[in-house]
Structure 1
C-alpha cells in the first residue's frame, strides 16, 4: 500500500481540524501517568496532546484536571499557577480556574463585577485506570464509553505501565510496533543462538483478520517436527498493540506462563510521541513481583538507569543510542542495548517530519501495516461522512481480546480454533 504524499499527510497529521486529528479526538486515550500528579494540590505539569498545549493538575478533591495551558487574560502560562482550593490560580493577576475550566475568581476586577462568570477556558474530561490518566478531546455529544481493555481490569499487582518519549511521528512508532518479522533481526540478542524460535524462522507467515475493534494478526513460524510457533497480536484502534510473551516466573519452582504486553502510541504533535508501555499477567493466579517488573523494564531499555527526567531515554539520537559495534559484531544484531531502544533507533532517525511512504516497497511481511493504514484512513472517511461510531470504541469488543504466544503441535492447524481461548480475555 504505497501512499501518495497527500494521503500520507492525512494519515500522519493530528492537529485540530485534520482528518486523523479528528479521528483521535473521538477516542479516550492516555494523557499522562497518575504518578505525574501524585496528590491533591501538587505541582501542575505541562501536557501536550495532538498539538494542543495544556496543563494538568490534581485539585483538592483528588480530581485530575486538563485545561488550556494559557490564561485567557494575558495568555501567560498557567503552569506557573498556584494549585489551591480546588483550582489553579494564575500568578500574574490571580485569575483562578477549576477542573472544568470555569473562572471561579477574578480578584483584580471590582467586587461587583460578574465578568468572571463570562470567562471559561478549554477543558477536557479525565478518568483514571491502571495508573494512567485518560482523556477525551472530542465533542461532548460524541463521547464514547470509557475504555475497558483487559489490562485496565487487572488488579494493580498484575499490571505495570510505563511511559517513554519518542522523537518521531506516531505512525512511525505504531507501524514499527505492529511489524512482527523485524523481531527476528532488530531484536536478535544472541546471533549465535540458532534455537531461538524467532531466529529459526525469519520469515513468518502473516495472517490478518479484521474485527470490530481493529484486527487480530498472527505470525506463524513452522518449526517442522518441533511444532508451529504462533505469536498472536491485537491491533485496537486507533493505536494500541497487544502481543503475547511467554516468560519464566518464580512460583515456588520456575514455571512458564503467559503474560501480555503492548503499547499505545499517543501523538504529542506531528513530530513527537508518547509511548505508553504495559504488561500484565496472563494468569489470574500469579501477580507480578517488583523484581520481575524491574527486570522487564531494564530488558526493554526502560529501567531506572536508562531513563532521564521527562521520560526520555539516555540512549538517544544525540549519542547514537550508545551503539557498541563490538557487541554488534560478536553477539547482537544491532549492538544497541534495550529492545525498545532498538526500535527507537530505527524510528527516530527516519525521515522527518514523517516517512515518505510513496517511496516504500512493501511485501507480504507488511500485511499488518497495510491493514492498519486501511482502517485509520477508513475511519477518517467515515467521520467526514458524519459517522458517529468508529471501530475500536466499543468496550464490549475491545475488552474481550488479548495477545498470546504459543507453540502448537506439528501440522496444519487453524489458529483461529487452536488459539481461540488464548486470544480471549481472562480478567
Structure 2
C-alpha cells in the first residue's frame, strides 16, 4: 500500500504539481483529428491535466490549442468565431492566432498597441496517426515526436477511439497492466470476443488462473511477465509493455488478430481519457474488424450520442444483468470486456484510497510501476525523463511458449522489438 502523501503525488496532475510537471514533458494525445476536421470549423473544448483549453483549425489548416478563457473578460472562446486565421471572442471581438497572439482588438482605439502586450496561453500541436498531440512543458525541453508503433504505421492499419472514464488516470492505467484479472473478470466472455476466441493462449489463460508474475525494468518503462503453466516443458508467458508515462500494449492472442494498446491521459484528478487503439503492423484492418470496433466491440465502447461517454455507465450500473451473472454467462453481469474493466475501476472511487490496499504477488507490476513513476519525479529534477527517446517506444507486447528454464526477458527478447514490416509473435 502507499502512504497518503505518495498517493497524492501519483494522482495529482494539475499545473505546478510534481506529477503534472512530469507529464508535461511528454507529447500528449489531446483529441482526435476529426474533432476539428477542416479549416475554420467550430472550435472544441479540450481539458487535459486540469487545464481548460480550446482547440481549433485555422484558415490555413494550422492547429491551435489555447487557454479557453479570453484574456479580456474571461469569456469562453468556445463561443468564438473561427475565421480568417484566428479565433475571435464572441464577447468583444478580441482575436487570437494559433500561437496565442492577440491579432485584433476592435474594442480598443484605432492605432492602439495594447494587443501587442496580450498573449493567450498556447501549446504547440502536431497531427499524427489521426490524433492531435500537444506538448505542454518547457519549450527548450521538447522531446521528439512519439514513435509508438501504432503511431507510425499507415492509417489503414489502425483504428483508435477514446472514452471518458470517471476515475483518476492511475487506477485506469493500473488495470491496463494487471494481467491476473483477465482469468476472472473476463472469464466467461473470452470465447465470445473475436480478439480472443480460437487461440491457444485463450485456453492456457482459462486453465491457469494463478499466474506468476515477473517484472523487469526497461529504459522506457516496464516489462510485466505473467507466467502460466502450459505443459511439462513450457510456460505460457503473456508479456505486457508499459511505456512511460501512461501507455500500455496488450499481449496479443494469435497472429490473425490485431494488437491492442491504450493511453490513459488525465483530464483532471477525477476523470481521464482512455484511448484505445487496435492495429496491425503488416496489413490493413479488415472491414469486418473495423465494423466491430466502430460498434464498440473489444476494447472500444458504444457512446451516448454526441458524447465520448459510454452508454453503459455508473448512472445505470453499467447495464448489469444479475441473471447473466448467476447463469455464468458473464462473471460480472456486465457486457463487454472494456465495460467490465472500467466499471470496476470506477467502483474504487474517483481517486482510489491506496492506503487501504493489501497487495499480493499478482500485483508486482502495479507496485513497480508506482515506484517507477515516483522515481521519475526525482529523475526529472536531474534533467532525465524516462520514456521520451524514440527507441524506448519502438516495442511490442507478446505471448509466447518458452522452456521453463528460460527467463522470459531473454526468451522473448526479439519478439518485444517492433520491427517495421515484420509480423508480431503470438500464440
2:259 pairs with 1:220: no
* Alignment partner of 1:389 out of 373, 377, 384: 384
Contact 1:208 1:218 in 2 (8 A): yes
Cα displacement string for residues 116-147 of structure 1 (whole angstroms, at most 9, x for unaligned residues): 11111100011111111111111111211111
1:288, 1:426 → 2: CA distance? 18
2:173, 2:190 → 1: CA distance? 26
Deviation at 1:227, TM superposition (A): 4.5
Contact 2:27 2:145 in 1 (8 A): yes
2:295 pairs with 1:300: no
Report 1:41-80 matches (<5 A).
41-80=40-79
**Compared CA separation, residues 151 and 45, structure 1 to 2 (3 A):** same
Contact 2:189 2:337 in 1 (8 A): no
Contact 1:181 1:365 in 2 (8 A): yes
* Alignment partner of 2:397 out of 400, 403, 406: 403
1:324, 1:309 → 2: CA distance? 26
2:332 pairs with 1:334: yes
Deviation at 1:77, TM superposition (A): 0.3
What does residue 105 of structure 1 align with? 104
Contact 2:146 2:390 in 1 (8 A): yes
2:163, 2:3 → 1: CA distance? 30
Cα displacement string for residues 198-244 of structure 1 (whole angstroms, at most 9, x for unaligned residues): 11111111111101101111111112249432211111111111122
Report 1:36-185 matches (<5 A).
36-185=35-184
Cα displacement string for residues 340-382 of structure 1 (whole angstroms, at most 9, x for unaligned residues): 1011110112124x11111111111001101110111111123
Cα displacement string for residues 63-109 of structure 1 (whole angstroms, at most 9, x for unaligned residues): 11100000000110000000011110011111100000000011111
Deviation at 1:112, TM superposition (A): 1.1
The alignment partner of 1:224 has SS state of coil
What does residue 364 of structure 2 align with? 367
Deviation at 1:291, TM superposition (A): 1.6
Contact 1:49 1:269 in 2 (8 A): yes
Deviation at 1:300, TM superposition (A): 2.6
What does residue 215 of structure 2 align with? 208
Unaligned stretches of 5+ residues in structure 1: 248-255
Contact 1:44 1:79 in 2 (8 A): yes
**Compared CA separation, residues 333 and 224, structure 1 to 2 (3 A):** same
Cα displacement string for residues 297-316 of structure 1 (whole angstroms, at most 9, x for unaligned residues): 5333635x444422100000
1:183, 1:308 → 2: CA distance? 30
Considering fraction of residues, name the structure with more strand.
Answer: 1
2:245 pairs with 1:238: yes
What does residue 416 of structure 1 align with? 409
The alignment partner of 1:319 has SS state of helix
Contact 2:237 2:402 in 1 (8 A): no
Cα displacement string for residues 260-299 of structure 1 (whole angstroms, at most 9, x for unaligned residues): 21111000000000011111114x2x21023202324533
2:404, 2:170 → 1: CA distance? 36
What does residue 419 of structure 2 align with? 426
1:190, 1:31 → 2: CA distance? 32
2:280, 2:290 → 1: CA distance? 11
What does residue 195 of structure 2 align with? none
Deviation at 1:191, TM superposition (A): 9.0
Contact 1:302 1:313 in 2 (8 A): no
Cα RMSD for the two superposed structures? 1.9
Contact 1:244 1:258 in 2 (8 A): no
TM-score scaled by structure 2?
0.92
The alignment partner of 2:415 has SS state of coil
How many residue pairs get aligned? The number is 410
**Compared CA separation, residues 424 and 301, structure 1 to 2 (3 A):** closer
The alignment partner of 1:152 has SS state of helix
**Compared CA separation, residues 418 and 296, structure 1 to 2 (3 A):** farther
What does residue 197 of structure 2 align with? none
**Compared CA separation, residues 53 and 423, structure 1 to 2 (3 A):** same
What does residue 196 of structure 2 align with? none
